[in-house]
Amino acid sequence: MRPTPLAALPLLLIACSGGGASSQTAAPADRPFKTSTIADFDSPWAMTFLPDGRALVTEKAGEMILFDPKNGTKIPVAAIPKVDSAGQGALMDVVLSPAFASDKAVYFSFAEERDGLKGVALAKGAFNQASDGTTKLDGVRIIFRATPYVTGNGHYSGRIAFSPDGQYLFFTNGERQQFDPAQDPKATLGKVLRLNLDGTPATGNPLSAKGFHPAIWSYGHRNLLGIAFDKDGRLWEQEMGPKGGDEVNLIKAGLNYGWPNVSNGSHYDGRDIPDHAPGDGYEAPKIWWNPSISPGGLLYYAGDLFPAWKGSLFIGGLSSQSLIRVKLNGDQAEKADQWDMGARIREVEQGPDGALWLLEDGGSGSQGRMLKLTPTG
């Protein structure tokens, strides 16, 4: 039986097992980092750090938790809308507003059901913690919904990133395992979207004059589970291919990335899909994997704790149970490292001190642990 959700418990401090003390394991010979287990969650999906070093963590079933790594306390965050967690549905990404210090805004995504159909929604609310520790998001409202909502429980995507200037919000909508909507100009499915901070389509999106939905920035995507800007303002995205063909893409305004017409993978039933090829009219991935790594979260690393990795992308591997580093050189990318983590990795985040923080997926034997990676020695 599933434990009682945190949201259903009284709003009080909930101490995690072990009183917040972390456990460390020696670094295997092929890992240039040591791993500390910080906490355990119930199928966590994403995390983001607050300015004071605490973190907001989302769990698949619909709980958002305020977690303090220093003492292990967990506080449920109230006022989260109802989440449809069937299949790949979840309470998904969580990201702080670029102006969080003043507006306290928290943006998050989740799967929902409306009139028998399902889709991904983007919401925002204001972080509010009372003197007694109870925590909620004030004024929660949905500011954008994917279109159309469809049947099925897969490929929601729902990743969030803010432009470096803090003026725009980029939001990923998966193609919901429906294939064709990724090429449909009227659907937001299978797209990267550029929105204003209030969720409305940004003025000047490149395809709106051609009859596309006004929010679309790029299209022809499958299941976009990671999106991040580098130090020079380039937007990187990773997505799951079908059977093989997982991709890292450099996202450019108005381009078509080809799904489902081209892919370096194949259909699950073995049918071929034409590979990306020069001159086919589609933007090819910068790198791809076959067999699949099943990429989860994506991080652009800008910290100093691992100086040799500054400016790299890090990807959490689900089916590959790995942490993957991608080396960037301007607008080019190349595979660099892949470490076996022994569990499905859903999320990769950079901590305030430059450490790498991971969330296990909580499926296929994983415990859903939060891990902290620091240099050896």
372 close to 22: Cβ distance less than 8 angstroms: yes
Cα 83 from Cα 157, distance rounded (Å): 14
Cα 320 from Cα 32, distance rounded (Å): 19
158 close to 221: Cβ distance less than 8 angstroms: no
> What positions carry a catalytic annotation?
155
273 close to 267: Cβ distance less than 8 angstroms: yes
174 close to 155: Cβ distance less than 8 angstroms: yes
Tell me which residue of 131, 129, 125, 143 sits closest to 80, measured CA to CA. 125
Cα 249 from Cα 274, distance rounded (Å): 18
Name, in order, each residue with C-beta under 8 angstroms of 353's C-beta and a sequence gap of 6 or more.
303, 305
**Phi, psi of 49, deg, nearest 5:** -90, 140
> CA 282, 209, 281: angle at the middle one, nearest 5?
10
**Phi, psi of 97, deg, nearest 5:** -60, 145
Dihedral sign for Cα atoms in the order 186, 188, 190, 196: positive
CB count within 10 Å of CB 233 equals 9
Cα 145 from Cα 139, distance rounded (Å): 17
Cα 166 from Cα 161, distance rounded (Å): 10
35 close to 364: Cβ distance less than 8 angstroms: no
Tell me which residue of 118, 112, 127, 125 sits closest to 50, measured CA to CA. 127
